[in-house]
Amino acid sequence: MLPPVIAVDGPAGSGKSSVCRGVAERLGLRYLDTGAMYRAMTWAMLTAGVDVDDPAAVAAHTGAVRIISGTDPRNPTIHVGASDVSGPIRSDEVTGAVSAVSAVPLVRDRLVDVQRAEVAAARDAGEGIVVEGRDITTVVLPDADLKVFITADPAIRAARRAAQDADLGKDGVDVRTTETALLERDAKDSTRTTSPLAQAPDAVVVDTTDLTLEQVIDRVCDLTRSRTP
């Protein structure tokens, strides 16, 4: 029997990262944050002075960017070449530009190939993997053993994201402004032509609005045990 592949989608601030890391650590699986990969690509574009609103310019520079993702859920890492970008990719500048970069078809094609290679490597090593993002259940891993769509009320998502930003040391974090930004990101991600954010028909919806982190992890772990070998 092949080890399990768990695909998790959902909008920003829904708690995907914390849940997926918790599930992977508890079940002894690898973990891949594809959102961090798109943020790393965006950081690389901004650092190189590429106009992120010019799809042709972004596509032309895509091949020059080498992204390396660590898959240890206890210490996930993200590098562009030799540069550790785990901190810089959470900047407001990257957050504001990532939707534009993510919408470029060549960017998605390249990173999807990398993501599928990470899944294959995990299985070749006899380990399962939890993969999170916005098109994992619909595009990247449509044959995953378990598909989960994690969501939450926008106000709750905004409060969580604002708390994360405050923890990162960002000044002047406002929940209402954060909610507006999240809804704008949702709209961009859901309406883009290439690999939009969408709920797969066979995905299990987990609404985290009224649940603690541990309760959501419990829920996804139970789903994994019931639906995978």
> Looking at the whole model, is its pTM more than 0.85?
yes
Beginning with the edge strand found earlier in the chain, give each strand of the sheet holding 67-69 in spatial order: 67-69, 78-80, 83-84
Please report the pLDDT score of residue 229 as a whole number.
62
Domain spanning 5-227: which superfamily? P-loop containing nucleotide triphosphate hydrolases (3.40.50.300)
Over residues 161-206, the pLDDT tens digits come to: 878 777 777 766 778 888 888 888 888 888 888 888 889 999 999 9
- Classify residue 191 as exposed, middle or buried by CB count within 10 Å of its CB (0-12, 13-18, 19+): exposed
Over residues 81-98, the pLDDT tens digits come to: 999 999 999 998 999 999
Residue where the block lists tokens 């507006």: 180
Over residues 127-155, the pLDDT tens digits come to: 999 999 999 999 999 999 999 999 999 88
Nearest Cα neighbor of 99 from 207, 182, 223 is: 182
Over residues 18-77, the pLDDT tens digits come to: 999 999 999 999 999 999 999 999 999 999 999 999 999 999 999 999 999 999 999 999
Give CA–CA dist 131/65, Å, rounded: 21
Give CA–CA dist 165/178, Å, rounded: 10
